Chain A
Amino acid sequence: KQEVTQIPAALSVPEGENLVLNCSFTDSAIYNLQWFRQDPGKGLTSLLLIQSSQREQTSGRLNASLDKSSGRSTLYIAASQPGDSATYLCAFNTDKLIFGTGTRLQVFP
């Protein structure tokens, strides 16, 4: 069965910290991996897409890496802000997205 595991399940940090969210997956035959943000009661906002041939992608304070051989991806958030508080979901794509259960992040002032 294809599975995605996200660690930690929840994280509470003071503003300004650099954060690392981890995602591991069981299927190496992926097209790509996507990181999403979900605010309470809202849909999913795509943050970063890493194609299977790529090693990392960057957008502003966000950097995501992909290691297919070990089945791992990492989302790095630099200089966290209260507005970053949300649930972060990773998903690998094999014609459909297989999601983890997410990391609930709270950044307090």
Chain B
Amino acid sequence: EDKVVQSPLSLVVHEGDTVTLNCSYEVTNFRSLLWYKQEKKAPTFLFMLTSSGIEKKSGRLSSILDKKELFSILNITATQTGDSAVYLCAVEALRMSGGSNYKLTFGKGTLLTVNP
């Protein structure tokens, strides 16, 4: 069974701090790893990672994947109160039934609270 584990489950920081969120996985037929931000309702897409060691950046957010050690990190620098959200990690992998049928397995998320 595919497994995605995020840590920590929750985190409280002050504005301006830098945070690192972790995601480890055990899946068969890995395809990609995705990060989403969820603020009370719809998760919004942040990054898709497919290759090891290549950092993806978007403003103060960055993420990297290690396919050998089976984990990814999401970094947020100079945090702001607007960064408060649940951050979801999901791994895309081939379904057991095979073919070209892929599924996303989600972790439980990390609840980040940024205090002013």
- Specify whether A and B are partners: no
Interface residues of A (CB under 8 A from B): none
